[in-house]
């Protein structure tokens, strides 16, 4: 088969496309696996910080609540607090 025939062979094109897709898929999987490993390491570090805080006498539930509040938008937090106050008043908790 002449070189030009191999270059236009539809089977060769399909094989190249298949190889490219396989290589790309493998790269995605490897990147995700690496990120999952990093995520686990970070989760372990966070767990260690909470353990350290607890060892120093801090309430970790309250600490988690503060972190959750800091993530919220100011207006979202104010709305949530207003609803909470309404519910507490309705239930006589205040």
- Return d(Cα 92, Cα 7) in angstroms, integer: 81
pLDDT of residue 9: 78
What are φ and ψ of residue 59, in 5° steps?
Answer: -80, 115
Q: To the nearest whole percent, how much of the chain has pLDDT over 90?
A: 83
pTM for this prediction: 0.67
- Return d(Cα 18, Cα 32) in angstroms, integer: 21
Is the pLDDT score of 8 beyond 90? Answer: no
**Residue boundaries of the structural domains of the chain:** 10-58, 59-94
pLDDT of residue 7: 56
pLDDT in tens, 33-73: 999 999 999 999 999 999 999 999 999 999 999 999 999 99
């Amino acid at each position: 088969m002449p070189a030009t025939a191999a270059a236009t062979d539809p089977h060769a094109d399909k094989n190249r496309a298949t190889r490219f897709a396989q290589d790309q898929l493998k790269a995605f999987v490897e990147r995700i696996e690496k990120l999952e490993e990093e995520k686990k390491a970070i989760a372990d570090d966070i767990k260690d910080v909470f353990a350290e805080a607890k060892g120093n006498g801090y309430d970790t539930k309250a600490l988690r609540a503060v972190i959750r509040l800091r993530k919220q938008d100011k207006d979202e937090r104010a709305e949530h607090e207003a609803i909470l106050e309404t519910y507490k008043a309705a239930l006589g908790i205040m």
